[in-house]
Amino acid sequence: MMVNKYIEDINLPDFGYDLSNKKEILDLFLQEEYGYLPPLPNIFKWDATEENKVYLRGSATYKKIIMTVGLNGRECSFPVISVIPNTNQKVPFFVFANFRDAVPDRYYPTEEIIDRGYGVLSFCYQDVTKDNDDFTDGLAGVVYPNGRQEPTDGGKISLWAWVMCRILDYAQDQEELDITKATAIGHSRLGKTALLAGAVDDRFYCTISNDSGCSGAAITRGKRGETIKDIYTNFPYWFCENYGKYMNNEDKLPFEQNMFLSLIAPRLLYVASAQEDIWADPQAEYASCVMASSAYKAMGIDGLVGKDTFPQADEHFHKGNIGYHIRKGTHYLSRYDWNMFMDFLDKK
Ligand code: GCU
């Protein structure tokens, strides 16, 4: 199927925004979908509690850092694991929101990444605040001592994204890291989280969404698989309360997700899909990259340099500032995906 025909069929309204006014567009997404992120913390400290300079046969240094953030006179702490190649040069690195705290992990092939010269600062999202509707635990309890009050108060995705930005604050002080080469990365719900971190914080040189689907990289209108009704019924606490208004009411959304991706322009963006991940909908993810490319074009930069028909597994496009691939198989963050991301970054 032709991508242009697909985009025509979505029949997007003319929202009438000035797309170069990023502040206005970002505000829309924060007010109507994710909710506002917390302000900067007034307490921010970290403490390396474990260090191994001969990690992975001596090729890397492993550190377990306990990060403490405070606001409203309360504070919480969570672990961040730093694995950095042992070299005299500053290294590019990933800020990786993961589902589990294990290092390595099935979504995190640590040794392969180190061998390609990249560092990783990872955390387990549930160590920050649990993936449920309890807003009293961890960072949620610190930010919302009286629970969420406003329909624009940030959901859990905003809290996890905020932590990705704080990890970047930490990275700024680490001389082994090349702060100009920081990439936000996450899979699925954490791919949505990485996109939000990249959208709000332009210190991220690159932002990677792996299989983020609904309310992430995918276009919402006309989407197959998961809808706003599905996601907001199952996971209302990921979003702000306002987002609930759009259940079975997508046409009333005052934006589309391609505009969310456009907030990352002209910086690097990478969207990865999996062929059998219909719930996320690879076509809606690809169309979104095509549509977001116009924001890059307006800045005189190539966004996605792709093709006119929907790609098939294992095609990839790495030429422009929006990278894309679709791999065989199901919803997963695999070695194949990581290697594609690093191939793209190596070339930039
Ligand atoms: C569910 C949810 C998706 C989400 C996914 C995940 O399937 O419906 O929106 O991306 O979980 O995080 O694995």
Which of 188, 231, 277 has most ligand 1 atoms within 8 Å of CB, for mutation? Answer: 188
Question: Catalytic one among 59, 77, 316, 331?
Answer: 331
Q: What pLDDT shows up at residue 327?
A: 98
**Neighbour order of strands in the sheet with 119-124:** 43-55, 60-71, 74-85, 119-124, 91-98, 177-187, 206-210, 268-274, 322-327, 316-317
Does the pLDDT value for residue 18 go beyond 90? no
Q: Name which of 83, 76, 66, 29 is nearest 197 in CA terms.
A: 29
Structural domain span for residue 246:
3-346
Which ligand 1 atom is the nearest neighbour of the CA of 187? 12
pLDDT band at 19 (very low <50, low <70, confident <90, very high): confident
Which ligand 1 atom is the nearest neighbour of the CA of 331? 13
Question: Catalytic one among 82, 122, 158, 188?
Answer: 188
CATH number of residue 140's parent domain = 3.40.50.1820
Q: How far does the centroid of ligand 1 lie from the alpha carbon of residue 172, in Å? A: 31
Q: What is the dihedral of CA 317, 275, 225, 239, to 10 degrees?
A: -50
pLDDT 10s digits, 142-167: 999 999 999 999 999 999 999 999 99
Q: How far does the centroid of ligand 1 lie from the alpha carbon of residue 44, in Å? A: 31
Q: Is 188 a catalytic residue?
A: yes
List the beta bridge partners of residue 208: 185, 270
Q: How far does the centroid of ligand 1 lie from the alpha carbon of residue 59, in Å? A: 35
At 82, which helix (H) or strand (E)?
Answer: strand 74-85
The beta-strand segments (E) located in 188-341 are: 206-210, 268-274, 316-317, 322-327
91-98 and 177-187 as β-strands: parallel, antiparallel, unpaired?
parallel
**Other Cβ atoms closer than 10 A to 115:** 14
pLDDT 10s digits, 174-190: 999 999 999 999 999 99
> Residue 64: what residue type?
K
Ligand 1 shell residues, CB under 6 Å: 188-189, 213-214, 226, 231, 279
Contact between residue 138 and residue 22 where contact means Cβ atoms under 8 Å apart? no
- Residue 52 gets which letter from DSSP? E
Which of 99, 226, 285 has most ligand 1 atoms within 8 Å of CB, for mutation? Answer: 226
At 336, which helix (H) or strand (E)?
Answer: helix 335-347
Q: How far does the centroid of ligand 1 lie from the alpha carbon of residue 273, in Å? A: 13
Domains in the chain: how many in total?
A: 1
The residues near 293 (Cβ < 8 Å, ≥ 6 apart) are: 302, 303, 304, 320, 322
pTM over 0.85: yes
74-85 and 119-124 as β-strands: parallel, antiparallel, unpaired?
antiparallel
Contact between residue 80 and residue 102 where contact means Cβ atoms under 8 Å apart? no
User: Radius of gyration of the chain from Cα atoms?
Assistant: 19
CA-nearest residue, atom 13 of ligand 1:
188
Q: How far does the centroid of ligand 1 lie from the alpha carbon of residue 188, in Å? A: 6
The residues near 153 (Cβ < 8 Å, ≥ 6 apart) are: 35, 36, 144, 240, 241
Q: How far does the centroid of ligand 1 lie from the alpha carbon of residue 214, in Å? A: 8
Which ligand 1 atom is the nearest neighbour of the CA of 231? 8
pLDDT 10s digits, 79-130: 999 999 999 999 999 999 999 999 999 999 999 999 999 999 999 999 999 9
Which ligand 1 atom is the nearest neighbour of the CA of 234? 8
Q: What is the dihedral of CA 197, 212, 348, 336, to 10 degrees?
A: 130
Percent of the chain with pLDDT over 70: 100
Does the pLDDT value for residue 299 go beyond 90? yes
DSSP code string of 55-69: EGGGTEEEEEEEEEE
79: three-class secondary structure by DSSP = strand
CA-nearest residue, atom 7 of ligand 1:
279
Task: For residue 46, give both structure tokens.
Answer: 């970290």
